[in-house]
Amino acid sequence: MNNDIRGFLEELASSAPTPGGGGASSLAGAVGVALCSMVANLTTGKKKYAQYQQDIETILEQGEALRGRLLELVDKDAEAFEPLAKAYSISKDNPGRDVILEDALKAAAATPYAILETLSDCSDLVTELGTKGSRLAISDVGCAAALISAAAKGAVMNIYINTKLMADRDYAESLNERSIELLHSITDKCDDVYDIIAESLGGSPA
């Protein structure tokens, strides 16, 4: 993603078709995993957490890779929409329209599914940091959990909007089922961590 955050948000707020919900979800996930990296950086090298040092170093490596992947997917989501927009503009009298549109729908759904897969790995980091991260930054783990959970919910909506229009219903239903399974796994992990942290800080679960 080459634009700065202000530029991205201005584009998102405009009437332009891209960026849209998929890119926004991926960005939210990237912010969430960046918080995970921040907590890991605040934990690494501390004597109190020496038993987790190797795990924290692994989290730092994974966090950087996942953040980069999610930022790439912001752009890929916008790129995947362009062929779909062109497919919709093809005359309905064109005999090749249905095949072109079907391929474009599948390609457009593939990126938010890749976002979900990446967020699944992010949710594992949240779970680890919930127990191994610095207690001084535990609220930031809760924020990360909330962002990654929300990002997953947003990504799956961008799958549904495409699978709904697919002619290949077996493919569409299979993708929906796999997406729902991933979504539940991500949100269950993140929401559990969020609730535990909220209660530990004297608040209430979501």
Q: What is the pLDDT of residue 4?
A: 84
Ordered mean pLDDT values, 10 residues apiece, the chain (206 residues): 78 91 97 98 97 98 98 94 88 90 96 98 98 97 98 98 97 98 98 97 86
Q: What is the pLDDT of residue 88?
A: 86
Task: Indicate which CATH number applies to the domain containing 174.
Answer: 1.20.120.680
Looking at the domain assignment, is residue 92 inside a domain?
A: yes
Q: What is the pLDDT of residue 3?
A: 53
Q: What is the pLDDT of residue 200?
A: 95
Instruction: Catalogue the long-range contacts made by 176-179 (C-beta closer than 8 Å, 24 or more residues apart).
Output: 178/113, 179/113, 179/116
77: Cβ contacts below 8 Å, ≥ 6 apart: 18, 19, 20, 22, 23, 26, 111, 112, 115, 158
23: Cβ contacts below 8 Å, ≥ 6 apart: 8, 12, 73, 74, 75, 77, 78
| pTM greater than the 0.85 cutoff | yes
Looking at the domain assignment, is residue 13 inside a domain?
A: no
Q: What is the pLDDT of residue 205?
A: 83
- Expressed as residue numbers, the domain containing 135 is 18-200
Looking at the domain assignment, is residue 44 inside a domain?
A: yes
Looking at the domain assignment, is residue 97 inside a domain?
A: yes
Q: What is the pLDDT of residue 1?
A: 47
Structural domains counted in the chain: 1
How far apart are the C-alpha atoms of 21 and 67, rounded to whole Å?
Answer: 18
Looking at the domain assignment, is residue 1 inside a domain?
A: no
